[in-house]
């Protein structure tokens, strides 16, 4: 807790965010099970959104998954008709990954159910705090990891 600039002590950010994150993930699991999706599969559906991703390795990097372990997730999603893999016209060795219409519907249904749960939690905050919390969380989540850790990105 060292390093506070004010006289008020607070827990470290990770000490507050990690338990909250674990509880939020636990709350998502029944929704994911209902739709027969693993957490990684939901991450894939969210990342693919409406724009194709050029390679499976790029997708794995983007969602923080191991590129060798994501293949089974992609196989399952493709077999279920939720994603489409096609050769990249500019590089036949690469595959473009994209959502199908069913994949978009699945993503939207799952995200809607999860965000309904989140709305019940957020409703416990006064409206002004809620808006500020969401703005701050979005700003922090958009930061590159190197900026958070203080690592240099230059050679």
Nearest Cα neighbor of 99 from 76, 80, 75, 82 is 82
Alpha carbons within 13 angstroms on the beta-carbon side of residue 3 total 4
pTM confidence score: 0.82
Please give the average pLDDT of every successive group of 10 residues along the chain, which has 155 residues.
67 94 95 96 91 82 87 95 89 86 97 96 96 95 87 62
The confidence score (pLDDT) of residue 6 equals 60
The confidence score (pLDDT) of residue 154 equals 57
DSSP string for 66-126:
-TTTHHHHHHHHHHTTSEEEEEETTEEEEEEEEE-HHHHHHHHHHHHHHHHHHHHHHTTS-
β-pair partners for 97: 53, 85
Task: Identify the three-state secondary structure at position 1.
Answer: coil
The confidence score (pLDDT) of residue 40 equals 94
The confidence score (pLDDT) of residue 3 equals 56
Cβ-proximal residues to 20 (8 Å cutoff; 6+ apart), any chain: none
């Amino acid at each position: 807790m060292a390093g506070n600039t004010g006289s008020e002590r607070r827990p470290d950010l990770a000490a507050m965010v990690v338990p909250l994150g674990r509880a939020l993930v636990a709350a998502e699991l029944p929704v994911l099970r209902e739709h027969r999706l693993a957490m990684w599969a939901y991450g894939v559906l969210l990342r693919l959104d409406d724009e194709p991703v050029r390679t499976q390795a790029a997708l794995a990097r983007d969602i923080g998954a191991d590129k060798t372990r994501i293949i089974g997730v992609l196989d399952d999603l493709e077999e279920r008709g939720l994603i489409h893999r096609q050769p990249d016209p500019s590089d036949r060795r690469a595959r473009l990954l994209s959502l199908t219409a069913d994949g978009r519907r699945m993503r939207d249904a799952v995200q809607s159910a999860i965000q309904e749960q989140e709305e019940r939690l957020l409703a416990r905050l006064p409206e002004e705090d809620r808006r500020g919390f969401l703005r701050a969380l979005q700003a922090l989540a958009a930061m590159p990891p190197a900026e958070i850790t203080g690592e240099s990105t230059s050679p």
